Amino acid sequence: STGPLRTWYKKEIPLSSYAEKPILVNFYFDTVDDQNNNYLGWFLDNINVSYLGGYISGKVTDENQTPLSNTKIRLYKTDNYGYGIEETCFTDTQGNYRILIPSGTWNLVVSHIGYEVKTINNVEIKHNEEVSNINFTLQVSTDTTPPAKITEIYVSPSTSIVGGIVIQWLSTGDDEYQNNIFDGQVEVRYSSSPFDTYTTAAGRFLYQTDIASNTLYVTTLTGLKSAATYFMWLRISDEANNWSEFSQTFSTYAYYDTIPTGKIEDLTATYGEQVLLSWTSPGENLYEGKLDPGVFEIIYSSQQINLSDTTNCQKVYITTITTPGTLFKYNITGLIPYTNYYFAIRTQDKYENWSEYSPVKSVVASPYFCSFNKISSDSSIETFAVGDYNNDGYDDIVVATYYGPIKVYKNVNGIFTLVWTSVEQYQSSYYAIEWSDINNDGFLDIIIACDSLPLRVYLNMKNDSFTSIWSSSNNNKARTVATADVNNDGFLDILVGNYAEPVRLYLNDKNYKFSLVWSSTETLYTYRIITSDFDNDGYIDFVTSNSRRPNLALYHNNKNNTFSSVVKINPGSVYSGLNLFDYNNDGKIDIVVAPYNGKLRVYRNDGNNVFTQVFSSTETVKSYGLQCIDFNNDGYSDIIVSNYGLPLYLFINKNSGSFVNTAANISKSAYDVVSFDYDLDTDNDFFVLEGTEIKIYDSLQNIININTEPLPPTTGFMVVYTTNVFTFVWQTGSDLQTPNSGLFYNLRVGTSSQS
């Protein structure tokens, strides 16, 4: 600050944090000429009593009067309580030193490596005074006598520092045994090899210190490999850099941590991809301290685990740096689906201490899939259908895009390529699309039905292209379409399910045209329509799932191009998913339905148009589509359910009228799903409509369980003709996985042999 002369100023400086500590406080009062001419200092001891103090200053040069910088000035005395007090400072580049110390009588020792040590005793320091011009001239040392060899050495592992060794040694002295050493050095050489000597040992620890003669000192080596045995040699030097001989060889092992990490008690094993494990990490020592690093060892087996002998277990090691209480999750894959596995885990710290194994947990492994990218860059797919349009053995895909064209993707050895795009742009957001051979040429054609647009048929031109050949004269509010030979004339007809309109039947006129011949009397809100001969009378019936009552409706074929509603089921849910399968292999077609926000239900066909609910899921599904297929190749059809906002559900048929959801952990939200063997590797893969993109999930079931092709009937084949009706009779085929009653047959009829 600034102010008039001879004016008192007051500045309070908080020093309470320094109370009871031996801190020397120095205050400077600066004059306008910026010279520190006035000063006052005092010392606060451990009982908070102030001691007065002053300065001592001087200069150190060599015998040629050249200033010696970095020369150590050591002051020491004994206080009133019998404790030794020492203060130290070093000369600056001009050889000057100045130090503020408490009042009293001090001894000074001046040392510089390579020079003789100078000592002055009984220098009195008074309050508010400076003892100046305490100068020293150091001569180059002519001392050539080294300290004596250290012979008394005691070594042991450190009791507190992992990887540490404590060396206790009894000093000799300057000029062998006679005097104290100021600014001496201690060197320890060490090696973990018993074949090394002090000349070849790579480990070296060197430090500078004062060494009093005949005094016990402690030197600690750190950073060594814990539990390893080390061989060591020690020597000392005086201030003239005269080194003693190395001691004899001494050895011990480095301290190692024997406290293990904590036992993991909260391991859980749940369905994942394929099994999801989770746990919280322990600490370095039981449940305390950071693991840096640590290792988790996961062991697992399809057999019960014996924790005392884990030789036959699979093992996974995870190296990590973590703090206690951190949550970990890890997926175990490559497991056999639907197989019970056992899991345990333990932890190792950086000192190779293992914890106990956790309690053993078990879970059934879910199916395993590899996720592939979407089949195209098109992000506007509304719906799709699967079929082999070019008869190369690989199923292809046709898609309807949102307010856009139809597109066909050809499957070439599991790779999908866009080969055709329709000229027509469909200005609609609701589609139903189907592959079907409408002209019996052996090649699949395309049927497209839209909201508020005519029904349209595209003919397969057998060259990776399609041509529009017919459209209906009326519009439909279509949500679903199915084809079947309703009148048994050998040509496929079309059934269209509409929203807030009747179901309509278009009969195939066999000349690339279709005629509307029947509409249901009920106005339905249909999401799915599927055809089958439910009563085994030789004529195709159909069933619809609807968002309003009746939620499930079965229509019987009257054999005159009309249908009658014979079964209505109203469980009260909006049913959007529907499919047919013979879940119990009794030769009768059963029904499975999945609602949006309700329970999956299976209805058994008891004959005579009677359907009995045999299964209701505990899970709530949000489905727009489902498919029935023998996913695990055990001969029984399983159920795959798409869920909006949820992963796919895979309900495995347990052969007893019950189904278990394995939570396949595929997709996060799916509008529709189709399962087929797209790469012909003998297992069923998933094509999932996620939002407006189709993604492939390739199953690895083929490496686990192969379903062989069934053998066709070899005997008993007959054809009986009566009044324009052919009746075909044959013995059952056979299969290694599927019961004979669960086999289905394709029958081809032609006008010439092998046609």
Percent of the chain with pLDDT strictly greater than 90: 43
247-256, 609-618, 694-703 — which is least confidently predicted?
A: 694-703
The two three-digit tokens of residue 529, written as one number: 């329509």
pLDDT digits (tens, 9 = 90+) for 576-621: 788 999 999 988 999 999 888 889 999 999 988 899 999 999 988 8
| Residue 363 sits in the same domain as residue 277 | yes
Give me the mean pLDDT over the 461-475 stretch.
94
Instruction: Note the pLDDT of residue 643.
Output: 86
| Residue 176 sits in the same domain as residue 238 | yes
| Residue 361 sits in the same domain as residue 274 | yes
Which amino acid, one-letter code, is at 645?
G
575 pLDDT band (50/70/90 cuts)? low
Alpha helices, H only, 73-187: none
Instruction: From 137, 164, 193, give the residue that closes a domain.
Output: 137
Instruction: Note the pLDDT of residue 16.
Output: 59
95 pLDDT band (50/70/90 cuts)? very high
pLDDT digits (tens, 9 = 90+) for 212-240: 999 999 999 999 988 899 999 999 998 88
| Residue 168 sits in the same domain as residue 248 | yes
| Residue 210 sits in the same domain as residue 183 | yes
Q: Does 116 or 188 have the greater pLDDT score?
A: 188
657 pLDDT band (50/70/90 cuts)? confident
DSSP annotation string for 424-466: -----S-EEEEEE-SSSSSS-EEEEEEEEEEEEEEEE-SSS-E
| Residue 45 sits in the same domain as residue 57 | no
Is a pLDDT exceeding 80 seen at residue 3? Answer: no
C-alpha separations of 64 from 132, 146, 495 in Å: 21, 26, 118
C-alpha separations of 152 from 60, 247, 248, 249 in Å: 37, 9, 10, 12
Cα-based torsion angle of the residue sequence 308, 314, 319, 323 in order, rounded to the nearest 10 degrees: -60
Residue 739 and residue 730: Cα distance in Å, rounded?
Answer: 16
| Residue 60 sits in the same domain as residue 128 | yes
Residues 6+ apart with CB under 8 A from 569: 550, 551, 552, 553, 603, 611
545 pLDDT band (50/70/90 cuts)? confident
Q: How many CB atoms lie within 10 A of CB 682?
A: 16
For the chain, how big is the Rg over CA atoms in Å?
A: 47
Is a pLDDT exceeding 90 seen at residue 263? Answer: yes
Whether 593 is in a domain gets the answer no
Instruction: Identify whether the C-beta of residue 411 lies closer than 8 Å to the C-beta of residue 419.
Output: no
Instruction: Note the pLDDT of residue 427.
Output: 74
**Phi/psi of residue 120, nearest 5 degrees:** -125, 130
Q: What is the count of structural domains for the chain?
A: 4
Instruction: Note the pLDDT of residue 43.
Output: 39
Instruction: Note the pLDDT of residue 44.
Output: 39
Looking up residue 94, the CATH number of its domain turns out to be 2.60.40.1120
Q: Does 47 or 421 have the greater pLDDT score?
A: 421
Give the strand pairing for 104-111 and 118-125. Answer: antiparallel
Q: Which of 368, 319, 325, 312 is nearest to 348 (CA)?
A: 319
Give me the mean pLDDT over the 158-183 stretch.
88
Instruction: Note the pLDDT of residue 542.
Output: 95
Q: Which of 105, 7, 119 is nearest to 56 (CA)?
A: 105
Q: 131 lies in which domain range?
A: 53-137
Instruction: Note the pLDDT of residue 17.
Output: 57
| Residue 165 sits in the same domain as residue 241 | yes
Give me the mean pLDDT over the 234-263 stretch.
91
Instruction: From 327, 346, 369, give the residue that closes a domain.
Output: 369
| Residue 173 sits in the same domain as residue 249 | yes
Instruction: Note the pLDDT of residue 574.
Output: 62
5 pLDDT band (50/70/90 cuts)? low
Instruction: Note the pLDDT of residue 39.
Output: 39
Mean pLDDT (the chain) is 84
| Residue 237 sits in the same domain as residue 191 | yes
Is a pLDDT exceeding 60 seen at residue 49? Answer: no
Whether 449 is in a domain gets the answer no
Q: Does 13 or 316 have the greater pLDDT score?
A: 316
42 pLDDT band (50/70/90 cuts)? very low
| Placement of tokens 């040629």 in the chain | 64
Instruction: From 85, 112, 137, give the residue that closes a domain.
Output: 137
96-105, 272-281, 456-465 — most confident range: 456-465
Whether 706 is in a domain gets the answer no
31 pLDDT band (50/70/90 cuts)? very low
* Beta strand extents in 171-290 (DSSP E only): 181-191, 203-211, 216-221, 229-237, 250-253, 268-271, 275-280
Whether 24 is in a domain gets the answer yes
Whether 76 is in a domain gets the answer yes
Residue 585 and residue 595: Cα distance in Å, rounded?
Answer: 25
Which amino acid, one-letter code, is at 254?
A
- Measured CA angle at 401 (ends 406, 481), to 5 deg: 70
Whether 200 is in a domain gets the answer yes
Buried b (16+ CB within 10 A) or exposed e, 415-441: ebeebbebeeebebebbbbbbbbbbee
| Residue 206 sits in the same domain as residue 278 | no
Instruction: Note the pLDDT of residue 723.
Output: 79
30 pLDDT band (50/70/90 cuts)? very low
1-15, 144-158, 624-638, 686-700 — which is least confidently predicted?
A: 1-15
Instruction: Identify whether the C-beta of residue 657 lies closer than 8 Å to the C-beta of residue 643.
Output: no
| Residue 217 sits in the same domain as residue 159 | yes
Give me the mean pLDDT over the 422-436 stretch.
84
Whether 663 is in a domain gets the answer no
22 pLDDT band (50/70/90 cuts)? very low
Is a pLDDT exceeding 80 seen at residue 407? Answer: yes
pLDDT digits (tens, 9 = 90+) for 142-168: 788 899 999 999 999 998 888 899 999
Instruction: Note the pLDDT of residue 591.
Output: 93
Instruction: Identify whether the C-beta of residue 641 lies closer than 8 Å to the C-beta of residue 652.
Output: no
Is a pLDDT exceeding 90 seen at residue 741? Answer: no
Is a pLDDT exceeding 70 seen at residue 48? Answer: no
Phi-psi region of 194 (alpha: psi -120 to 50; beta: other; left: phi over 0): alpha
Whether 613 is in a domain gets the answer no
27-41, 66-80, 186-200 — which is least confidently predicted?
A: 27-41
Q: Does 354 or 587 have the greater pLDDT score?
A: 354
Order across the sheet with 693-699: list the strands. Answer: 369-374, 693-699, 685-690, 672-676
Instruction: Note the pLDDT of residue 129.
Output: 83
Looking up residue 232, the CATH number of its domain turns out to be 2.60.40.10
